[in-house]
């Protein structure tokens, strides 16, 4: 009975945790060049991939001077385009950094599995962006709200202005360019930020004076602000936000937590669960004390299968994240 009470209490704590954590958007910094033929050959598949996840991905196209320093987008802000690329050691294009982690160069530019592994995660912070102003001046208020424990680190706030779609017949043959970086409203290396304690928030105000670039057609009404918080040493991005995202509150985005049934249960070596119609993102196993256990699992369509050999005998709680939210269930290993 005591174990059952502990399990019920811990399950309740997990439910509350799931309800209070904002989603983590996937920030993709895309380093490309309007004169690069390889960029023109790989970018279309990359765009087609990320456009499948409009509610999950934030994309920012940065144009360093490689392989050509006469790229029109680079020339509109050479200092900041170069600095952001240098932060990742970019020496060629195209390349992408996903949530601050540089993806190995290759074709495809961003493997489907790499992107999908980053989906369905949560963050201890949410970023809200409000915009105002009248051409040629844009204003932005960026609010960072904390909902959970933030890992220790040296955090920086970055606030960028991007243009959602640019129609420009580039020398490499590309005619549509997405989320083109104009300028960083913070320092290009970020602005120091002390993240508030859980339940708190911090707001910052910015002004951008738009100057129409030469060499390509730009539209003030297509500009928007993208804000993100990044750890300075590891470059891990904690979360990002734009004005297009729903505002997170504990109630408005609280996911429904559903029961998860394992078979067999108890299970010694393997256990499986079927989640009809769901896309499974991750599986985590916890002891009743809250310790997370690293185990192997496989996913085939809507079936998840756990390998239990590494677990000592006992009672565990398993949380499976899907596109529609979390499932939580009890699992015994004799």
* Per-residue pLDDT at 4: 46
In this structure, the answer to whether residues 185 and 150 fall within a common structural domain is: yes
Range of the domain at 58: 26-242
Chain-centre distance of CA 231, in angstroms?
Answer: 14
* Per-residue pLDDT at 20: 58
326 found inside a domain: yes
* Per-residue pLDDT at 289: 65
11 found inside a domain: yes
Give the residue from 88, 75, 79 showing the smallest Cα distance to 30.
Answer: 88
Q: What is the mean pLDDT of residues 293-315?
A: 89
Q: Tell me which residue has tokens 């960083």.
A: 184
Q: What is the pLDDT of residues 43-67, one digit of tens each?
A: 999 999 999 999 899 999 999 999 9
Q: What is the pLDDT of residues 243-270, one digit of tens each?
A: 999 877 654 444 566 888 999 999 999 9
Is the distance from CB of 29 to CB of 97 less than 8 angstroms? Answer: yes
Give the residue from 192, 50, 188 showing the smallest Cα distance to 119.
Answer: 50
**Number of domains the chain contains:** 2
Query: Rounded distance, CA 141 to CA 206, Å?
Result: 6
266 found inside a domain: yes
* Per-residue pLDDT at 12: 42
Is the distance from CB of 22 to CB of 248 less than 8 angstroms? Answer: yes
**pLDDT over 60 at 8, yes or no:** no
In this structure, the answer to whether residues 221 and 267 fall within a common structural domain is: no
**pLDDT over 80 at 16, yes or no:** no
Query: Rounded distance, CA 276 to CA 100, Å?
Result: 34
**pLDDT over 80 at 317, yes or no:** yes
In this structure, the answer to whether residues 271 and 315 fall within a common structural domain is: yes
In this structure, the answer to whether residues 33 and 9 fall within a common structural domain is: no
In this structure, the answer to whether residues 126 and 201 fall within a common structural domain is: yes
248 found inside a domain: no
Determine which helix (DSSP H) or strand (DSSP E) holds 14, and give its type and residue range.
Answer: helix 2-20
Q: What is the pLDDT of residues 122-156, one digit of tens each?
A: 899 999 999 999 999 999 999 999 988 899 999 99
In this structure, the answer to whether residues 101 and 179 fall within a common structural domain is: yes
Residue after which a domain boundary falls, among 242, 262, 282? 242
In this structure, the answer to whether residues 152 and 227 fall within a common structural domain is: yes
Q: What is the pLDDT of residues 205-255, one digit of tens each?
A: 999 999 999 889 999 999 999 999 999 999 999 999 999 998 776 544 445
Query: Rounded distance, CA 27 to CA 30, Å?
Result: 10
Confidence band (pLDDT; 50, 70, 90) for 2?
A: very low
| Residue that wins the pLDDT comparison between 330 and 8 | 330
In this structure, the answer to whether residues 136 and 238 fall within a common structural domain is: yes
In this structure, the answer to whether residues 51 and 160 fall within a common structural domain is: yes
293 found inside a domain: yes
pTM of the shown model: 0.74
**Mean pLDDT over each residue of the chain, to the nearest integer:** 89
In this structure, the answer to whether residues 104 and 207 fall within a common structural domain is: yes
Q: What is the pLDDT of residues 111-126, one digit of tens each?
A: 999 999 999 888 999 9
In this structure, the answer to whether residues 185 and 201 fall within a common structural domain is: yes
In this structure, the answer to whether residues 235 and 262 fall within a common structural domain is: no
Confidence band (pLDDT; 50, 70, 90) for 186?
A: very high
**pLDDT over 80 at 9, yes or no:** no
Domain harbouring 7, CATH code: 2.60.40
**pLDDT over 70 at 19, yes or no:** no
Q: Judging by DSSP bridges, how do beta strands 95-98 and 191-192 pair with one another?
A: unpaired
Give the residue from 215, 193, 235 showing the smallest Cα distance to 90.
Answer: 235
Instruction: List the beta strands (DSSP E) in the chain.
Output: 26-31, 57-62, 95-98, 101-102, 125-132, 137-146, 155-167, 176-184, 191-192, 201-209, 223-231, 237-242, 258-259, 270-274, 280-287, 292-293, 297-300, 303-307, 314-322, 325-333
* Per-residue pLDDT at 291: 74
Query: Rounded distance, CA 286 to CA 81, Å?
Result: 43
Q: What is the mean pLDDT of residues 80-104?
A: 97
């Amino acid at each position: 009975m005591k174990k059952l009470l502990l399990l019920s209490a811990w399950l309740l704590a997990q439910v509350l945790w799931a309800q209070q954590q904002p989603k983590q958007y996937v920030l993709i910094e895309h380093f490309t060049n309007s004169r690069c033929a390889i960029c023109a050959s790989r970018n279309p598949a990359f765009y087609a991939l990320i456009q499948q996840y409009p509610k999950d991905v934030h994309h920012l196209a940065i144009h360093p001077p490689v392989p050509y320093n006469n790229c029109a987008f680079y020339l509109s802000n050479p200092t900041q385009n170069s600095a952001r690329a240098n932060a990742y050691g970019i020496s060629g294009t195209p390349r992408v950094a996903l949530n601050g982690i540089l993806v190995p160069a290759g074709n495809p530019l961003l493997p489907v599995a790499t992107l999908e592994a980053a989906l369905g995660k949560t963050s201890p912070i949410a970023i809200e962006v409000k915009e105002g102003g009248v051409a040629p001046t844009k204003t932005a208020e960026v609010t960072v709200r904390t909902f959970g424990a933030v890992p220790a680190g040296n955090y920086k706030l970055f606030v960028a202005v991007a243009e959602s779609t640019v129609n420009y017949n580039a020398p490499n043959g590309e005619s549509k360019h997405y989320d083109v970086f104009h300028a960083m409203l913070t320092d290009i290396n970020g602005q120091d930020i002390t993240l508030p304690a859980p339940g708190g928030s911090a707001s910052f105000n910015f002004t951008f004076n738009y100057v129409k670039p030469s060499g390509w057609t730009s539209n003030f009404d297509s500009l928007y602000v993208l804000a993100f918080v990044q750890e300075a040493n590891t470059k891990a991005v904690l979360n990002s936000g734009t004005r297009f995202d729903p505002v997170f509150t504990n109630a408005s985005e609280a996911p429904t937590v559903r029961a998860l049934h394992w078979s067999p249960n108890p299970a010694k070596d393997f256990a499986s669960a079927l989640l009809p119609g769901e896309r499974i993102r991750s599986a985590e196993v916890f002891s009743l004390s809250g310790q997370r256990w690293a185990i192997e699992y496989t996913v085939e369509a809507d079936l998840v299968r756990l390998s239990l050999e590494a677990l000592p005998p006992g009672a565990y709680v398993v949380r499976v994240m899907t596109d529609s939210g979390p499932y939580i269930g009890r699992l015994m290993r004799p």
